[in-house]
Every structure is written in C-alpha cells, then in structure tokens.
C-alpha cells in the first residue's frame, strides 16, 4: 500500500513538473519573438510611396548608415553612390542627429558630381524615422543663388557682343539708302545685311540658352538618358555640314551607358563639340566620336585633325565669347558661346569636360559624366550594428582618364 502511494505521488509530481516546464518554454518563446520584433523593426508603412512622389530628394538610412531607400531625386542629384551617402558632409549631419536625437536643418554646398569643380547649394533636413532609422531630405537651392549673378553677366555680355553686328546693320542700312539707284550695290548690301542679321539672331539665341543653363531653369535631372542615342543624334545633326566640307565623321558608341539628365541639352552640347571639330578642320579631314564606360563614369570624346589650340589658349576656350581664331570663327558663323554652353551643360549634369590639343595636330575634347545609380530598395538587416563615432565610409570618387582610342582619331604621337 505504501509503495502504491509513493508511485502515485511521484507520478503526480512529474506531471506537474512537466506542465510547469512547458509553460516556462512557451513564455520564453513568446518573449523571444517579441524581442526579435524589437531588434529588427521594419521601415514604417508608406515611406516608399512618399519617397516616390516627393519633390525633395529623400534617403532612408539604417543604424549602420547603409542606404535602405533612395528617391529618384536623390539618385539624380548624386547623393547616393554604391548604396551609401556620397558626401562626408551628409554623413556628419546624420551622425549628429543620431547623437543628439534632434532634427537638423542646414544649407550646405556640395560638389555637383564626382568630376569637375561645379557645386550645388542644398537645403538639407535630417531627422529620426522611428527608433532606428534616419530620414534625410534635400532641396536644390542652386538656382536661387545663381540668379543674380546670371542676370548681371547676361546684361554685360550681350551688350558687349551685340555692339558689332548692330553697328554693321546700321552702316549697311545707311549704304542701302545711298545706293538706292544702283541695283547691283543694293543686292550686295542686302545680302550682307542678311548675313549680319542671321549672326545677330544666332548670338541672341545662344546667349539666352547659356543664361538658362547657368540659372538651371532648363534642366530636369530626373530622367534616364541613353548616351549612345545622344551620340547618334549629335552626329546625324552634323553630317550635312561635314559632307559639304568633305570631312568624314566616324562614330563608335556602344557603351550602353545611361546617365541622369536632359537628353536634348546633352545632344546640344555634343553637337557643339562636333560642329567645332568640323569648323576647325581642313577639307578632307576626319573627325572621330566615341563613348566608353570607365568605372562609374562614361566618357564621350570628339577628336579632330584640325588646326589645334595653342597652350596659352587652352585654359580660355570655355570662356564666353572667347575665340581661338577670330577670322575663322566669323567665317563659320561662330558666336564664341558654343564651348561655354558645353561646359555649363556638363557641369549641370555633375560631370566635367577636358581638352587635349597641339597646334597643327588637332584636338580631343572629352566629356565625363557619372553613370546613373540604380534604384535602391533593401530591407534592414536583422543584425545591423548601430553607427559608431568611427568614420563612416563614403563612396570613393571615380579615377579619371582620357579615352585611349577613337574611331577616326589621328595618330598624334605621345600625349601628355
């Protein structure tokens, strides 16, 4: 009887102990699931939709400052490279918000792209998004800062450059009046008057275009542009003029590269380079146009076998109204604004333009533009570590070089 009682007591104790252990395991599992939800929260609902329609550039960063979401505007402005913030100044602002917990609003100046010296003024706002993430918004204020300077330059330049053709028109009108009884003279003066009026219209058009570029009211950098298509369009626009002068234009563009920007403006810029190459080449010469990808950039080069540029003129060829050869420029109808338009167009796209030249051996102009960054959409890592005070890596600028070969480039010997 005693042994039966002992067995019943032991069995009851075992059942109670097992039930208690099961309850403890269940509670521990629930606590673990709750802890996992705390450790790895998700980005708040609606953030993706907001970034898609936001006029400002927007970026969402995780605790390690990896970019989880980036709006099309942020990619187009070059704020993100290789899924990280591309500028140390922005990383510093994010670190400041993490450290203090307070939102930050500041206007800063940043390089417009990885190449060249063009800059942009941004109104930047940074704040926490939930408990772990940070939201960065940026508005481009460059246009407002440039507007006054552009207006002053426009008035000064156009008043100076229009003085000569206006004086010519005035003198020709007076000559026509005096030669009213001489039909042959009237026709000659009328033809000359037409040339001067065309030149006047061309200068006015290019000054206006340049002013628009400097003010950035003509540029929307949120569309993907096919560089090979830009090259093809610019070459086609110059084929008639090239054929009339017996100049062969050869193009090789199979880069498959895309950049953010305005396709029409890039076509105009490349058209100007090709037109210059034709205008400064001798009859029967050759002009080569090519596009290649180099790291995070695409390089578009235009090479000619023309008269070349003297070393003392190299640094000035992109100035407004500067002409290397005044007589040749007048004969070809040049306004002295073509290369300035090229420079400002390229800078507004975050790139730069370089020139190699030797007198009597020709010139090579090379445009470099940053490749379009692809859309970013990543989920936060469960084991992401919070950002520390140690320096956060910033996307490295692409190393630059001049394209090594072009389809119709002449043999120039060693280049410096």
Q: Give yes or no for a contact between 289 and 406, defined as CB atoms under 8 angstroms apart.
A: yes
Q: What is the C-alpha separation between 343 and 269, in angstroms, rounded?
A: 8
Q: Give yes or no for a contact between 113 and 398, defined as CB atoms under 8 angstroms apart.
A: no
Tokens of residue 317, six digits: 């060829």
Q: State the pLDDT at residue 159.
A: 65
- Reported as type and span, the H/E element at residue 306 is none
Q: State the pLDDT at residue 171.
A: 74
Q: What is the C-alpha separation between 315 and 308, in angstroms, rounded?
A: 14
Strands, E, within 198-351: which ranges?
Answer: 223-226, 248-253, 258-261, 286-294, 297-304
Q: State the pLDDT at residue 397.
A: 38
pLDDT digits (tens, 9 = 90+) for 371-416: 987 665 566 555 555 554 444 333 333 333 333 334 444 433 333 3
Domains of the chain by range and CATH?
47-143 (3.30.450.20), 144-218 (1.10.287.130)
DSSP line for 35-62 = HHHHHSPPPPTTHHHHHHH-SSEEEEE-
Closest Cα partner for 138 from 223, 62, 51? Answer: 51
Query: In 106-261, where does DSSP find H-type helix?
Result: 142-161, 163-178, 183-215, 227-244
Buried b (16+ CB within 10 A) or exposed e, 326-338: eeebeeeebbbbb
Q: What is the C-alpha separation between 186 and 20, in angstroms, rounded?
A: 116
Q: What is the pTM of this model?
A: 0.55
Ranges of residues in the chain whose predicted pLDDT is under 50:
7, 24-25, 28, 31-41, 217-218, 327-330, 332, 388-416
């Amino acid at each position: 009887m005693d042994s039966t009682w002992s067995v019943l007591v032991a069995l009851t104790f075992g059942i109670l102990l097992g039930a208690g252990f099961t309850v403890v395991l269940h509670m521990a599992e629930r606590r673990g699931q709750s802890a996992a939800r705390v450790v790895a929260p998700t980005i708040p609902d609606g953030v993706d939709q907001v970034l898609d329609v936001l006029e400002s550039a927007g970026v969402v960063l995780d605790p390690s400052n990896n970019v989880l979401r980036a709006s099309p505007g942020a990619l187009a402005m070059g704020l993100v490279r290789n899924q990280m913030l591309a500028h140390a100044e922005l990383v510093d602002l994010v670190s400041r918000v993490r450290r203090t917990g307070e939102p930050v609003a500041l206007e800063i100046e940043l390089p417009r792209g990885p190449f060249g010296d063009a800059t942009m003024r941004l109104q930047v706002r940074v704040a926490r998004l939930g408990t772990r993430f940070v939201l960065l918004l940026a508005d481009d204020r460059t246009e407002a800062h440039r507007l006054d300077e552009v207006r002053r330059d426009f008035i000064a330049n156009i008043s100076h450059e229009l003085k000569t053709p206006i004086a010519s028109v005035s003198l020709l009108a007076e000559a026509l009046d005096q030669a009213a009884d001489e039909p042959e003279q009237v026709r000659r003066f009328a033809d000359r008057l037409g040339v001067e009026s065309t030149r006047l219209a061309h200068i006015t058009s290019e000054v206006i275009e340049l002013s628009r570029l400097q003010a950035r009211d003509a540029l929307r950098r949120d569309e993907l542009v096919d560089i090979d298509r830009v090259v093809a369009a610019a070459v086609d626009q110059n084929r008639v003029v090239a054929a009339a002068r017996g100049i062969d234009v050869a193009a090789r563009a199979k880069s498959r590269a895309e950049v953010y920007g305005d396709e029409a403006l890039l076509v105009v810029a490349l058209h100007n380079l090709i037109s210059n190459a034709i205008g400064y080449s001798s009859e029967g010469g050759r002009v080569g146009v090519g596009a290649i990808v180099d790291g995070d950039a695409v390089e578009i080069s235009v090479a000619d076998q023309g008269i070349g540029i003297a070393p003392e003129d190299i640094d000035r060829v992109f100035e407004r109204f500067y002409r290397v050869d005044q007589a040749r420029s007048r004969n070809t109808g040049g306004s002295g604004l073509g290369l300035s338009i090229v420079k400002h167009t390229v800078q507004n796209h975050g790139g730069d333009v370089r020139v190699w030249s030797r007198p009597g051996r020709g010139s090579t102009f090379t445009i470099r533009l940053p490749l379009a960054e692809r859309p970013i959409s990543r989920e936060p890592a469960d084991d992401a570590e919070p950002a520390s005070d140690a320096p956060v890596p910033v996307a490295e600028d692409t190393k630059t070089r001049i394209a090594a070969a072009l389809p119709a480039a002449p043999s120039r010997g060693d280049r410096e």
